[in-house]
Amino acid sequence: IQFRQARQEFLQHRMTHMPKKFEKKRNREQVTVEYFQGCLADGPYLTAIERYLNTALFNNIEDIRTLLLEKNLMPQIHVIFISGLYGVLSANDHICDYHLGISDGIQPPDLGGLLRATIDNYMIDNEILDSNVYYMLSHNYRAHLDINHIWNDLWIGNGTRNQERSNQLYTFLANL
């Protein structure tokens, strides 16, 4: 909660003082800071898995989207996300559209430890072993998380879009 409050305050400040940073495309339409302000105030809210499954992350989006949505319904599979605004989210948490990366602006003290503690508690609550954790984080996000060396890294290459990484994720999900 402390993380989210600090990040919300920073996001509001950024929207007021740097509105040009919010000129983006959403659903192939140009949006401005007013769009994001409206989303924060009134939604629409989607589950994290619906919000984050987009072509910016994966090249073969429909195949990965279908598999992730199917696997998320399985009780033994837990999909979580690390958000620049919300921190650690389960796939079914409802969130609005926003534009804030993990490294944007001032970070709460000990961000990596805070995120790691949240993940560790989630793992304890759901009886998940360290050796059963697989993650796919960009280098930017990885720098902000105290990653357990036992967890399994699925990230390949650099940049956001990467066909090899998309193929690896698809294969991994298909074999679960």
* pLDDT for the residue numbered 104: 86
Mean pLDDT confidence for 58-76: 81
- Check whether 61 has a pLDDT greater than 80: no
Give the strand pairing for 80-83 and 87-90: antiparallel
Return d(Cα 134, Cα 155) in angstroms, integer.
10
DSSP state of 134: E
* pLDDT for the residue numbered 161: 61
* pLDDT for the residue numbered 170: 85
Percent of the chain clearing pLDDT 70 (strictly above):
92
Mean pLDDT confidence for 37-64: 80
Lowest mean pLDDT among 46-50, 65-69, 109-113: 109-113
Q: How confident is the model at residue 160 (pLDDT cuts 50, 70, 90)?
A: low
Give the strand pairing for 94-96 and 29-31: unpaired
- Does residue 88 contact residue 118 with C-beta atoms inside 8 Å? yes
- Tell me the residue type at 111: L
The token pair at 95 is 């969130």
Place of tokens 């995120």: 115
**How far separated are the first and last CA of the chain, in Å rounded?**
33
48 to each of 30, 105, 157, 168, how far by Cα in Å? Answer: 22, 22, 24, 22
* pLDDT for the residue numbered 137: 87
* pLDDT for the residue numbered 45: 93
* pLDDT for the residue numbered 58: 61
